[in-house]
């Protein structure tokens, strides 16, 4: 489900609702055949929390409609996960609520985009030494550093949200959250944009990480604690 959805979202930024309906129907079939073995409380808790999180993230604009539906349907298909991990053969999680683990992993993996932005900006600076912050001379060093991590100069291709505005005739960085569902993509060249990478891609990666490594946050904290 995530593989198909991520591919569609990367190509057109749209996922047909029939995909979620089809996999939702599969989830219903699972419940029909496994009803006697279900932990109803755990299932209700998992689906309820995932649905609430999806709704809140969608309303705040952090999730698109497809992201919200993906997490909700996933929680119905696999509400809990407590299997041994492929890599270690052990468990690396403090709870078995799979949608929350998936979401946590996806958020952590999405931070890799910061490093990609930095690399793109370093490359741009090397090719155009005086152009990276052209027009943004009034910005502070701290805001420029933040811009280098969150976005880059647009080349007119791909999907990105405008990350600048005009104040009293001067260009300024705009770090405000953009609603993923309503904000149009920026097609102009030379302006600062925040990449609109589909979160479904990170969800797919988060699912793979959950199966092979478990809860990435717990792994990170355990490594710090030396456990």
**In this predicted model, what pLDDT tens digit does every residue of 129-177 receive, in sequence order?**
888 898 888 889 999 999 999 999 988 777 788 899 988 878 999 988 7
Q: How many other β-carbons are positioned within 10 Å of the β-carbon of residue 168? A: 5
Q: Which DSSP string do the residues of 38-102 spell out, in sequence order?
A: --HHHHHHHHHHHHHHHHHHHHTTSS-HHHHHHHHHHHHH-SB--PPPTTTSS---S--BHHHHH
Say which range, 16-20, 125-129, 157-161, has the weakest mean pLDDT: 157-161
Highest mean pLDDT: which range of 44-53, 77-86, 175-184: 44-53
Return the pLDDT at 157: 72
**CB of 75 closer than 8 Å to CB of 184:** no
Rounded average pLDDT over 102-109? 93
Instruction: Give the chain's length.
Output: 227
> In the chain, what are the domain boundaries?
1-227
pLDDT, one tens digit per residue, over 26-76 is 988 888 887 777 778 888 898 999 999 999 988 887 788 889 999 999 999
The yes-or-no verdict on residue 214 having pLDDT over 90 is no
How many Cβ atoms sit within 10 Å of the Cβ of residue 191? 17
């Amino acid at each position: 489900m995530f593989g198909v959805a991520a591919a569609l979202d990367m190509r057109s930024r749209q996922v047909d609702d029939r995909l979620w309906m089809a996999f939702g129907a599969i989830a219903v079939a699972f419940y029909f055949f496994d009803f006697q073995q279900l932990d109803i409380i755990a299932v209700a808790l998992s689906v309820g929390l995932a649905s609430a999180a999806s709704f809140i993230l969608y309303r705040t604009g952090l999730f698109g409609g497809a992201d919200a539906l993906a997490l909700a349907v996933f929680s119905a298909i696999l509400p809990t996960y407590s299997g041994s991990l492929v890599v270690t053969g052990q468990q690396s999680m403090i709870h078995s609520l799979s949608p929350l683990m998936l979401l946590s992993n996806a958020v952590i993996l999405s931070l890799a985009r910061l490093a990609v932005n930095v690399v793109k900006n370093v490359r741009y600076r090397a090719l155009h030494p005086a152009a990276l912050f052209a027009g943004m001379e009034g910005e502070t060093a701290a805001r420029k550093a933040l811009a280098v991590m969150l976005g880059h100069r647009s080349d007119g291709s791909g999907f990105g949200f405008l990350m600048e505005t005009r104040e009293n005739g001067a260009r300024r960085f705009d770090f405000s959250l953009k609603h993923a569902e309503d904000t149009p993509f920026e097609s102009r060249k030379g302006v600062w944009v925040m990449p609109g990478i589909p979160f479904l891609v990170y969800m797919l990666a988060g699912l793979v990480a959950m199966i092979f490594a478990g809860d990435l946050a717990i792994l990170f904290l355990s490594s710090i604690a030396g456990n």
